[in-house]
Structure 1
Amino acid sequence: MIYKRGKVYWYNFRWSLKNEDGTVESFRIVKSAKTHKRKQAEDAEDEHRRALRLGEIHPNDPWPKPAVSAPPVFRVFSKEFLQYAKTHTKPGTHTFYSVCLDRLLTFAAIADAPLNAITGETVSRYARHRQEVPENSVVTVNGDLRTLRRVLHIAVEWGKLDRVPSIHELPQAQGRDCVLSFAEEAKYLAKASENLRDATILAVDTGMRPNSELFPLKWTDVDLTVRPESPHGVLHVRQGKTDSAQRSLPLTPRVAEVLQRRKKAAEAKGKLSAFVFPGAGISGHITSVQHPHKTAIEDSKLASFEFYCWRHTFGTRAAQSGMDRFTLARLMGHSSPAVAARYYVHVTETHVAAGFGKFVEYHTRNVAEGLAEAFPQASEAIQ
């Protein structure tokens, strides 16, 4: 029914709504058409009825529907996201997001698109585009895709976007979870540069995370003092991926030898860097071993794998040596088993040292056997 109040037309009608349980609710709709022309008021009522009929609104919802501001362009929102990341994530994570976003912003179909215009098809085109660039590995592309997914999830949390499109990472033939045998390790180390060889030995004998723990390792965190619980010394991880990453790592004999040699060589040059693995960049330490790692793999004729696999190899070898999972969780710096450790009161430093002793025994024996298997012609000399 159309009627007039003063100079403005209103409409008034009843609307019934059937619920899922079969009951029927009746609503009285009374709205101002906000016009002094009857035809426009009739059109306003028809539009309201249409929205109700199509289920676009509920009879109790406000009408007309509140105007929704257009989602921001990805390039603009990425700046807001980086500010958020700077405050709410660790410096290394913020740097990772920043580097990935730099690559994403070179792709106009994403960079210049409103957030709600980025679809799964757009993301697939980006992945194909990045794979055409020779120096971009699958790992690099997947890092970009994870960053994009995180940005869009934050946009949803902030009410800038309704939903995140499906973002599928590229398949990896051998990912971060592959395990190297002792023979493969021997072949790799034989072809690795000195710096890479030392970094690899620390990675596979301590399980440190490469980017956040191994590469930024400082000499102040290296303690080569002989103690009953750590006869070859210990490394202190002050910070890392999670709170549980803060831990002390007993050393194997060959890690202690590597650290002693590197320190002696650095002191002989008269320049002892703060870092065990110094680098020429702003950070002062190496940030990647990608190129020498790739060369060592090719020269040793091994199947491709990520440097991170040395950490996974450590964990697998430790478990195979008979180390209990609570000790392994402590050494790996895992966050989830740390919850169980609160109830496992026997995980003391002495307990960790005993578990690690089993690993050293197992490790020393298998390193020798791995060398013999990799280079059988020199087995007598090795033994």
Structure 2
Amino acid sequence: MQLKRVVVTGLGALTPLGNNLETYWSNLLKGVSGAGPITRFDPEKFKTKFACEVKDYDPLNYFDRKEVRKMDLFTQYAMISSEEAIKDSGLDLEKLNREKAGVIWGSGIGGLRTFQEEVSSFSQGDGTPRFNPFFIPKMIADISAGMISIKYGFHGPNFVTVSACASATNAMIDAMTYIKLGKANVMITGGSEASVVEAGMGGFNAMKALSERNDSPETASRPFDKDRDGFVLGEGSGALILEEYEHAKARGAKIYAEVVGGGMSADAHHITAPHPEGLGAHNVMVNALEDAQMKPEEIDYINVHGTSTPLGDVSEVIAIERVFGEHAYNLNISSTKSMTGHLLGAAGAIEAIASVMAIKEQVVPPTINHFTDDERFDPRLNFTFNKAQKREVNAALSNTFGFGGHNTSVVFRKID
């Protein structure tokens, strides 16, 4: 069977760095931090009092009041970034075969705020079960894909992947695979998350996963820095339109890049900690390269998982050195989480967008907030510290790893 080629024809972003693709990408290149004091709730009694929130967001700028009542914030974000990506793709929905168009989305947690509010309201009552009729459909993670497909009338594959912080990349790999196999021509894919709520912050604080650098939120996410102390929680959404190459070419579509491969693996080690030798991270990059039928030396840029945790950053670098050997020193490596924070189930989507834009614009966004070298990292490695770097980027690999030992990698290449 001859597999189809898959390309990216549309992008949409709603992030802590900007509420559209153009602003997001511009601020990535400028090295802007999206971190600041939490405004979603009073964080006074929390160990961490800051996050990377979406800013200047009013749902009534996008939806009417009736729609807002039916959607958790993570679904709102999904709808907005998907709409931008559809518009960016130039798809003529009237001419599109919607039986061959689908939605595969990712979210690690889903409607956490909705769950928190409804359960809290119940627990403070007299035990009478007075729940909002929209409670379940607002909360469940799969509603995001369902709502997107309803809006556009897409009748093809439709579901949500849930694999913690690897969710969006799993969704992209699945979407790519359906197109490769000829089961779809067009897929909306990506991920969204809205976990900057009391339950989210309190839970991650209890795990000691978050930075507690409350005196300097904008410098708290510092991947690969010696003094990193945890990740910064972020929120938002990223959407990509994946399309079968001949389908895109026939309609004269703008093509950002080709999606040439995806890899998946499991650490099978610990519920939250990465494998200390980067076993799963090594395997997933090897799997992605094999799927792409590419050699390690053909990769120019890696957008790493790079969460700014003491253990995670080390294990990922060990894996990169094993996979790429001497070529590791020719790579540009960067963690855009240093600017966006960690968007959990949406991380893979906005980082894939950064990888695609690096190919389009031939520039690598930086890893900001580097102050002190960590002696555990080879100084010959180029982490693109503090300033974007112009370079030839013909192929980029994006890594996303999640609690439970889930590992995903996706490879993009400049279109021939």
Q: TM-score, structure 1 length as denominator?
A: 0.26
Q: TM-score, structure 2 length as denominator?
A: 0.25
Using CA pairs under 8 Å that are at least 6 residues apart, name the structure with larger relative contact order, 1 or 2: 2
Determine which structure has the larger helix proportion and give its number: 1
Determine which structure has the larger strand proportion and give its number: 2
